[in-house]
Chains A and B, each alone.
Chain A
């Protein structure tokens, strides 16, 4: 009797593995193999100038040396991080607030479903369409400028696309609008998973709403916060579509809003697989390191 049972368990395990096959296959074909071939490609000089194909010639780590010596990489990494932080800080604050409100039963918010849908909606718009919209809204003769002019706030059209911080600000704003709904829903899921008896106990002990939030909700939300932060960081490092469309691929003014992936995209003009591959590998390493750091910080303090 016992034997038969344990046999059954083993055979269920087998099914588990079988059902994992699709994922593993897809992962290998679309992630692991490209990853390896990207690294392989990064060791070659391989580009097209006009219609003339140069290479592929094996050059070792020369592409990496080139990337580091021309010094632009750090600038683009800095731009990317600045725009990500500008968007992420308000995003996490607003999401925490909204999440706390939505998940607090004592507030008895009406039309919750409606609001949850509405804040999620911006995420459904294609990022490129959204960026086009903002480009038109904030162009020199666009509606925002004419509203500001008519209200008498400014006397001449403000060139949003020609100032470092207005472009970065717009990129951050767009990322914020697009992603705060998503983050809110994730955080809310985390908050609703917290044992309600803890809240009740705190209330019985006479804790205020602020105290409950900081002493109970936040610490218990840490795993979800960690997840949100890592995914957003990875997403932020790969920031491309919004600044690309908003600045027409130039990263203007003077490349101050050029992100790492936009830089990568620049190399595709000349089909520069070598330099592009090297940049991708570096990006992979940076993403890995940053994720590790965030992971360490968040897990260490919770112990």
Chain B
């Protein structure tokens, strides 16, 4: 009898145990954020009352956090993911960009925005140009005007930085503190060895257009250097000078300039002038060190100071061994925009962060001096471009701002679509096989189409 009772207890325990874990969420409803909540916050923003006690920030790396920590008045760091601005607790939600993880995480949070408690709602999030329209075009971002930021406040910003985050109705939905005109960043030592000079005015003619670029690449190869680490380095230079968007009427479209990138790159790889590595990998970044034997990288200010291993002993950047020149074509790469999430309870605080970091000339000049970023303020940048006391240590003291200023004026971002990120990523991935000779161009392009349609099932080819 005892045994029977025991086994009964055991059996019930087992059944109960297996059922306990089965309670679960009922899946997030994918509804639009209620207009009600939006109206509420607008009212709050205007009166400036009732600030929420937690500011949730979504971003993909430490860059923005460092900017806020170093330059936003009154910010105190608590620990790696928490900070304080007055009574408001700042929570940093940092998810890396890799494999779309950042956007997936953000999307899930935004889709649940309605049901979330006030302190769990997304308040502020960052976006990049490649997928800006995805958020800008949705109701999940608040118009900047509703935050109380006026057009005069933003008058000094480069116009392209506003075009990127303006939706189809002409409403501005984000602001950026940086401009991202790109330059060609070359290795001074290699320039002296191969071309006999490291001065930008001597190097620029050798890379003034793509034909000169290839001719110089040959000279570099004879001395054992690769002109760029990977052909993907030049991708942005071509893809930013397109005359048609990635998607036309729901159909994937490959611009003539993108096609030119494929042909030019194939020639570079076949001649052994450049590799085919993926960006950000170890094979790609080996050129940050002298042993890597890479002549140049293409990139904007943030690449120079933030990504080229400037803090690592023995890197070229650490020794100030890089220099900048315009290169064959001007281009734009990246850039980070600050957006306010619809439904936020911290509208006034967000507005202040935006004003301080993107409109306050003093703070912006400090960012340039401390971090060598190129900030989104035209008069301030043009003034600093003339400043002979300013120089970037990574570039051996060169003041590259005149170049950036000229570049920023010329940036046009009128061909962007919500599909850009997927298309850019998949295109580079798909072409790799063609460059390496494992497949022909046609099947590589076919593979690209397939990959894009998997990501965006509403497109055709």
A binds B: yes
Which residues of A are interface residues toward B (Cβ below 8 A)?
15, 18-19, 21-22, 25-26, 29, 47-54, 72, 139-141, 159, 162-164, 248-250, 252-255, 266-267, 269-270, 272, 275
CB pair A253–B433 under 8 Å, yes or no, is yes
B349 shortest CB reach to chain A, Å: 25
B283–A269 CB distance below 8 A: no
Closest B residue to A272 by beta carbon equals: B457
Tell me the bound Cα distance from A275 to B19 in angstroms: 31
Shortest Cβ distance from B440 into A: residue: A254
- Where the two chains meet, the residues of B that have a C-beta atom closer than 8 Å to any C-beta of A are 7, 11, 14-15, 17-19, 22, 30, 99-100, 107, 110-111, 131, 134-135, 137-138, 140, 275-278, 282-283, 286, 418-419, 429-430, 432-433, 436, 438-439, 443-444, 447, 450-451, 454-458
Min CB–CB distance A102 → chain B (angstroms): 36
CA distance A162 to B269 in the complex (A): 14
**At the interface, is chain B mostly helix, strand, loop or mixed?**
helix
Find out whether the CB atom of A254 lies under 8 angstroms from the CB atom of B134. Answer: no
On whether A25 and B18 interact (CB within 8 A), knowing A53-B30, A249-B99, A254-B438, the answer reads yes
- List of B residues within 8 angstroms of A25 by Cβ: 15, 18-19
Q: Closest approach, in angstroms, between the C-beta of B238 and any C-beta of chain A?
A: 22
B433 and A254: CB pair below 8 A? yes
Contact of B283 among A141, A255, A267 (CB under 8 A): A141
Distance in Å: Cβ of B364 to nearest Cβ of chain A: 31
Q: Nearest CB to that of A70 among chain B residues?
A: B450
Q: With contacts A139-B282, A270-B455 known, what are 6 further pairs, Cβ within 8 A?
A: A18-B11, A22-B14, A26-B18, A49-B456, A50-B418, A141-B286
Contact A270/B456 with A140-B277, A253-B438 known, Cβ cut-off 8 Å: yes
Contact of A252 among B111, B135, B140, B433 (CB under 8 A): B433
Asked whether, in the complex, the Cβ of B457 is within 8 Å of the Cβ of A270, the reply is: yes
Q: Tell me, in angstroms, the Cα distance from A162 to B138 when the chains sit together.
A: 40
Listed A/B pairs (16) with beta-carbon separation below 8 Å: A15-B7, A22-B15, A25-B19, A29-B22, A48-B30, A48-B107, A50-B418, A50-B456, A51-B134, A72-B450, A140-B275, A140-B283, A141-B282, A162-B438, A253-B433, A267-B454
Chain A residues with Cβ below 8 Å from B100 are 269
Q: How many angstroms between the C-alpha atoms of A15 and B111 in the bound complex?
A: 48
- What's the Cα separation between A141 and B291 when bound, in Å? 13
Contact between chains at B283 and A50 (CB < 8 Å): no
A269 and B455 form a contact (CB under 8 A): yes
Q: Which residues does chain B contribute within 8 Å of A275, judged by CB atoms?
A: 457
Instruction: Let me know if B14 and A164 touch, CB within 8 A.
Output: no
Interchain CA distance A154-B205 in the complex, whole Å: 39
- Residues in A with CB closer than 8 Å to B286 are 141
Cβ–Cβ contact B455 & A254, under 8 A: no
**Set A15, A22, A54, A252: member contacting B429, Cβ < 8 A:** A252
Given A159-B436, A255-B447; A21-B11 close (CB under 8 Å)? yes
Q: What's the Cα separation between A57 and B22 when bound, in Å? A: 29
Taking CB atoms, residues of chain A closer than 8 Å to B18 are 22, 25-26
How far is the CB of A274 from the nearest CB of chain B, in Å?
9
Complex: A21 Cα to B111 Cα, angstroms: 38
CB proximity of A267 to chain B, nearest CB, Å:
6
Given contacts A21-B11, A25-B18, is CB(A254)–CB(B454) below 8 Å? no
Most buried by B among A19, A164, A255, A272: A255
Q: Which residues of B contact A15 (CB under 8 A)?
A: 7, 11
- From B110, B131, B138, B447, A254 is in contact (CB under 8 Å) with B447
Name the CB-closest residue of B to A11.
Answer: B4
* Shortest CB distance A137–B (Å): 13
- C-alpha spacing A163/B438, complex, angstroms: 7
Alpha-carbon distance A272/B456, docked complex (angstroms): 9
| Shortest CB distance A87–B (Å) | 22
Among A18, A164, A248, point to the contact of B438 (Cβ < 8 A).
A164
A254 to B443, CA, bound (A): 8
Q: Which residues of A contact B433 (CB under 8 A)?
A: 162, 252-254
- Tell whether A266 pairs with B436 under 8 Å between CB atoms, given A19-B11, A26-B18, A255-B447: no
Shortest CB distance A64–B (Å): 15
What CA separation (Å) do A254 and B449 show in the bound complex? 12
Contacts of A18 on B, CB cut-off 8 Å?
A: 11
Q: A141-B282, A162-B438 known; A254 and B444 CB under 8 Å?
A: yes
Asked whether A54 lies within 8 Å of B458 as measured between CB atoms, the reply is: yes
Least distance between A16 CB and chain B CB atoms (Å): 11
Residues on B with C-beta less than 8 A from A139 are 282-283
Task: Say whether A50 contacts B457, CB under 8 Å.
Answer: no
Find the A residue at minimum CB distance from B443.
Answer: A254
Give the 4 A-B CB pairs with smallest separation, nearest first: A50-B134, A253-B438, A266-B454, A22-B14
Residues of B close to A21: CB separation below 8 A: 11, 14-15
